[in-house]
């Protein structure tokens, strides 16, 4: 993997603290996030996407725990920081300036008792802006998401779901961060609003040059705006590649299943995935996908496949490609 | 398309704010209606309940008189006395008429709640007014202090829920909260009042003093109030602490708290503006509930500390089946509780912009 990535994640594991032991939810994720891209992280619900997002943000709360790994982030001035080792107070200064988060459940992410203005500007003021600058920045950010500045005087419950989501996005981009982690950005919204917000997000990327990790269970969302896709299954990356490559020629059987499950407008029968994603307490041995895999063979339930590079920008974790990969070197 | 969204957003935001103000006003009106209705219902229930208490006040009064004076009972004289009193107290009328008269006098007659037995011919109203400051003084001060301390402490131990000290505080509060108030009072009387002799444990002020605006009197007043107030505060405060802790912990799990931390706000701001502000709203409602639920506890404490408040008066009135007085006490208690609750509830919209949703 190249050294030019904005964020370099290596061996990231996170789990749930039980009475005696930790149940691993995210297992040894390696991922390079390139500057300026929209990286989609996609997988069925329950496969650890939100845990991964919160782990990247260092926002896990008990029982969730970080177990191991490194996350190296390159700042604008060329310096790098190791997110895993950053003390809390330094991390705090990095947030919103360099690293923003749009959490899953954004409907409830605004403080119900404070006006929008206060919630947007308090952050900016604490990051060193004057009151006036903070207000100007907030207004500029609201314009990016096509909201009138009147929302500044509103309480969250006076706003519709789409408006709330836009306020969150505006807040997250108001300090022009290099990296934005957005978890299920559009899940709770109607289709029209979904599409508008995705367009706004793409525009923000173009205008601010931000890098976005877009987490979603919806392949359709990924197809609309992502540049690259990481397909996640049971806490691991199954396949990683450009959107075009993966949609044209999915190689991991799980990626094929996911793409096959996208509802077609023509009303074709959907041939998709059978069964359900396992919970972290019953991750299968070997390849975690093997109980559901249509192409499972002997090796699969004993040996764990690792993520192997198959082409430029193409990584797959599946035993089907073991021999080829070995020959390729 | 964009302009469209803007226009819609503007309109709905202003509209919703106007609607919001209207609804808060309606909420206040509605809340006041509920207040008046509850007050009426309480008066009515109190009226009938005390007339159902067995034992004729006249017989008890006469029995006491004769016993006190050691004379033989004179049946004819007794008859005359009873008839006289029954007339004064309006007891010969049928119950519904008594009720209507009672209401009429109370509302139109300037709170005329009839004469008392305990200190005949003193008016019940005057009797209650004389005793009420003692009760309300002790009660409101201790409940509000307990609420302030409990809310602050609970917020802190909820915020640091995994700290060893917080867990210790939870165990202590739980123990205190389940202790009956009178046991705490007795404990304080015995330990602080008699064993250590650090504070007076009986009466409203030192016996040799007269009420006056002197430092000596006021300091004696305060010293005498400390133990009864502590008895009230310890149990109630422990309850408020546990309540606020639970509210804090549940608020800490909210999405807006994760988002607040994600924004890089200082921990103090997260605690103050995001966690505490939100946990405070149900905690204020809790105050209203506790005000209603703990006044009777204060009555018991008064009796234990020989405090000349309504509780002590109530016991005297009970002994004579003086239902005029008992009823007046209950009435004033209900009035005090309902009014305090009303104030708290009307203050809620100031704290919670969503109030109309929950109301
Ligand atoms: N705080 C938590 N408590 C209990 N289980 C959790 C918690 N967070 C995540 N999990 C479990 O971990 C798994 C992965 O969750 P999550 O990361 O939210 O997946 P996704 O975002 O892909 O739907 C799920 O099985 C979920 O039930
Ligand atoms: S390793 Fe085996 S079970 Fe897993 S996806 Fe590949 S073929 Fe299927
Ligand atoms: Mg999720």
Task: Evaluate if residue A118 carries a pLDDT over 90.
Answer: yes
Q: What is the model's pLDDT at position A1?
A: 43
Nearest residue to A172 (alpha-carbon basis) of A207, A212, A206: A212
* B295 vs B245: which has the higher pLDDT: B245
d(CA A88, CA B264): 10
Question: Which chain residues have CB less than 5 Å from ligand 3, an ion?
Answer: A 50, 104
A30 CA distance to ligand 2 middle (Å): 19
Ligand nearest to the CA of A25: 1
**Residue contact A123–B263, C-beta within 8 A:** yes
Mean pLDDT along residues A139-147: 92
For the CA of A232, the closest atom of ligand 1 is: 22
Residue A8 binned pLDDT confidence (cut-offs 50, 70, 90): very high
B345 touches chain A (CB under 8 A): no
A-B CB pairs within 8 A amount to 107
Nearest residue to A100 (alpha-carbon basis) of B262, B233, B131: B262
Residue A9 binned pLDDT confidence (cut-offs 50, 70, 90): very high
Nearest residue to A47 (alpha-carbon basis) of A211, A220, A292, A328: A292
Q: B344 by DSSP, 3-state: which?
A: helix
Strand-pair category, A38-42 with A228-233: parallel
Task: Return the best residue to mutate from A25, A277, A279 for the ligand 1 pocket (most ligand atoms within 8 A of CB).
Answer: A25
Enclosing H/E stretch for B37 = helix B2-51
DSSP one-letter code for B123: B
pTM of the model: 0.84
Which pLDDT tens digit goes with each residue over B297-322?
A: 888 888 898 888 888 898 888 888 78
For the CA of A54, the closest atom of ligand 1 is: 17
Encoded tokens for B256 = 């807006």
Residue A141 binned pLDDT confidence (cut-offs 50, 70, 90): very high
Nearest protein Cα to ligand 1, atom 9? A51
Answer for the pair B201, B181: CB distance below 8 angstroms, yes or no. no
Residue with tokens 């234990």: B304
Mean pLDDT of chain B: 83
* A271 vs A110: which has the higher pLDDT: A110
d(CA A153, CA B17): 9
Which residues fall within 8 angstroms of residue A156, CB to CB, at 6 or more apart? A110, A111, A112, A116, A164, A167
Q: What is the model's pLDDT at position B71?
A: 60
Which pLDDT tens digit goes with each residue over B172-193?
A: 999 998 888 889 989 988 888 8
Q: What is the model's pLDDT at position B247?
A: 96
Question: Which residue in chain B is spatially nearest to A103 when comparing CA positions?
Answer: B259
Answer for the pair B318, B142: CB distance below 8 angstroms, yes or no. no
Answer for the pair A29, A12: CB distance below 8 angstroms, yes or no. yes
Question: Which residue in chain B is spatially nearest to A115 when comparing CA positions?
Answer: B353
Nearest residue to A201 (alpha-carbon basis) of A75, A95, A216: A216
Provide, rounded to the nearest whole percent, the portion of chain B with pLDDT above 90.
23
Least confident of A318-327, B23-32, B103-112: A318-327
Cα angle vertex A185, ends A181, A188, to 5°? Answer: 155
Residues with CB under 6 A from ligand 2: A 252-253, 287, 289-290, 293, 295-296, 300, 305, 318-320
Q: Could you tell me the maximum CA-CA distance found in chain A, to the nearest angstrom?
A: 66
d(CA B186, CA B183): 5
d(CA A315, CA B296): 73
Q: What is the model's pLDDT at position A264?
A: 60
Which pLDDT tens digit goes with each residue over B82-108?
A: 777 777 777 777 888 888 888 888 888
Length of chain B counted residue by residue:
359
Nearest residue to B171 (alpha-carbon basis) of B250, B230, B238: B238
Task: Evaluate if residue A268 carries a pLDDT over 70.
Answer: no
Which pLDDT tens digit goes with each residue over A41-80?
A: 999 999 999 999 999 999 998 899 999 999 999 988 888 9
Task: Evaluate if residue A154 carries a pLDDT over 60.
Answer: yes
Chain centre to alpha carbon of residue B1? 58
Mean pLDDT along residues B32-56: 82
Enclosing H/E stretch for A119 = helix A116-126
Task: Evaluate if residue A180 carries a pLDDT over 80.
Answer: yes
Mean pLDDT of chain A: 89
DSSP one-letter string for A41-91: EE--TTSSHHHHHHHHTT---TTEEEEEEEEEEE-TTS-EEEGGG--HHHH
Encoded tokens for A180 = 């934005």
When CB atoms are compared, the residue of B1, B16, B262 closest to A59 is B262
Nearest residue to B244 (alpha-carbon basis) of B147, B352, B341, B348: B147
Encoded tokens for A202 = 């793409």
Helices (H) and strands (E) in chain B, counts: 14, 0
Task: Evaluate if residue A266 carries a pLDDT over 60.
Answer: no
Residues with CB under 6 A from ligand 1: A 16, 25, 43, 45-51, 63-64, 279-280
Chain centre to alpha carbon of residue A58? 13
Nearest residue to A49 (alpha-carbon basis) of A104, A105, A11, A108: A104
Most confident of A293-307, B74-88, B116-130, B282-296: A293-307
Task: Return the best residue to mutate from A18, A24, A41, A51 for the ligand 1 pocket (most ligand atoms within 8 A of CB).
Answer: A51
Which pLDDT tens digit goes with each residue over A181-236?
A: 999 988 877 888 888 889 988 998 998 889 999 999 999 889 989 999 999 999 99
Q: What is the model's pLDDT at position B359?
A: 38
Answer for the pair A51, A24: CB distance below 8 angstroms, yes or no. no
Cis status of the peptide bond prior to B121, with omega within 30 of 0: yes
């Amino acid at each position: 993997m190249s050294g030019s990535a904005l964020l370099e994640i290596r061996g990231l594991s996170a789990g749930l603290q039980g009475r005696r032991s930790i149940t691993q939810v995210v297992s040894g994720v390696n991922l390079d996030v390139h500057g300026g891209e929209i990286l989609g992280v996609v997988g069925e619900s329950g496969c650890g996407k939100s845990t991964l997002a919160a782990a990247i943000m260092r926002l896990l709360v008990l029982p969730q725990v970080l177990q191991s790994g490194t996350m190296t982030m390159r700042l604008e001035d060329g310096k790098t920081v190791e997110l895993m080792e950053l003390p809390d107070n330094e991390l705090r200064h990095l947030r919103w300036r360099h690293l923003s988060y749009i959490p899953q459940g954004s409907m409830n992410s605004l403080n119900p008792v404070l006006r929008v203005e206060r919630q947007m500007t308090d952050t900016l003021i604490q990051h060193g802006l004057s009151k006036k600058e903070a207000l100007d920045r907030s207004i500029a950010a609201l314009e990016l998401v096509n909201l009138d500045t009147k929302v500044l005087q509103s309480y969250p419950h006076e706003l519709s779901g789409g408006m709330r989501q836009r306020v969150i996005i505006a807040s997250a981009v108001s300090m022009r961060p290099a990296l934005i982690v957005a978890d299920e950005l559009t899940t709770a919204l109607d289709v029209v609003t979904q599409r508008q917000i995705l367009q706004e997000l793409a525009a923000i990327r173009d205008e601010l040059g931000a890098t976005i990790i877009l987490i979603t269970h919806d392949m359709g969302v990924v197809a609309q705006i992502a540049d690259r896709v990481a397909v996640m299954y049971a806490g691991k990356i199954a396949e990683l590649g450009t959107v075009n490559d993966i949609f044209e020629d999915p190689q991991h059987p799980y990626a094929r299943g996911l793409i096959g499950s996208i509802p077609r407008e023509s009303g074709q029968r959907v041939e998709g995935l059978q069964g359900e994603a396992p919970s972290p307490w019953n991750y299968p041995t070997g390849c975690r996908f093997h109980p559901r895999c249509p192409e499972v063979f002997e090796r699969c339930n004993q040996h764990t496949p690792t993520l192997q590079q198959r082409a430029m920008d193409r990584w797959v974790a599946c035993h089907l490609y073991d021999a080829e990969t070995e020959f390729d070197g | 398309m964009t302009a469209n969204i803007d226009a819609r957003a503007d309109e709905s935001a202003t509209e919703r704010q106007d609607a919001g103000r209207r609804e808060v006003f309606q909420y206040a009106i509605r809340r006041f209606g509920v207040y008046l209705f509850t007050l009426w219902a309480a008066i009515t229930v109190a009226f009938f309940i005390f007339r159902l208490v067995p034992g004729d006040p006249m017989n008890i009064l006469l029995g006491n008189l004769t016993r006190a004076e050691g004379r033989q009972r004179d049946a004819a004289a007794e008859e005359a006395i009873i008839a006289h009193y029954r007339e004064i107290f309006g007891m010969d009328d049928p119950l519904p008429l008594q009720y209507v008269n009672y209401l009429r006098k109370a509302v139109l007659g300037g709170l005329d709640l009839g004469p008392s037995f305990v200190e005949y011919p003193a008016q019940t109203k005057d009797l209650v007014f004389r005793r009420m400051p003692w009760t309300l003084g002790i009660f409101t001060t201790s409940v509000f202090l307990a609420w302030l301390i409990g809310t602050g402490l609970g917020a802190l131990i909820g915020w640091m829920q995994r700290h060893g000290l917080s867990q210790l505080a939870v165990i202590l509060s739980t123990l205190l909260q389940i202790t009956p108030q009178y046991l705490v009072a007795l404990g304080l009387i015995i330990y602080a009042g008699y064993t250590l002799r650090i504070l007076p444990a009986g009466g409203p002020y030192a016996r040799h003093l007269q009420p006056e605006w002197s430092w000596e009197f006021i300091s004696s007043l305060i010293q005498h109030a400390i133990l009864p107030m502590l008895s009230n505060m310890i149990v109630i405060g422990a309850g408020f602490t546990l309540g606020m802790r639970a509210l804090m912990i549940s608020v800490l799990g909210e999405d807006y708290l994760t988002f607040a931390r994600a924004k890089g706000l200082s921990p103090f701001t997260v605690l103050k503006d995001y966690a505490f502000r939100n946990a405070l709203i149900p905690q204020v409602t809790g105050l209203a509930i506790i005000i209603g639920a703990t006044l009777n506890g204060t009555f018991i404490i008064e009796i234990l500390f020989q405090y000349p408040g309504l509780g002590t008066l109530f016991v005297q009135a009970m002994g004579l089946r003086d239902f005029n007085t008992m009823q007046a006490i209950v009435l004033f208690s209900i009035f005090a509780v309902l009014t305090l609750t009303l104030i708290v509830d009307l203050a809620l919209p100031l704290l919670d912009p969503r109030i109309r949703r929950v109301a």
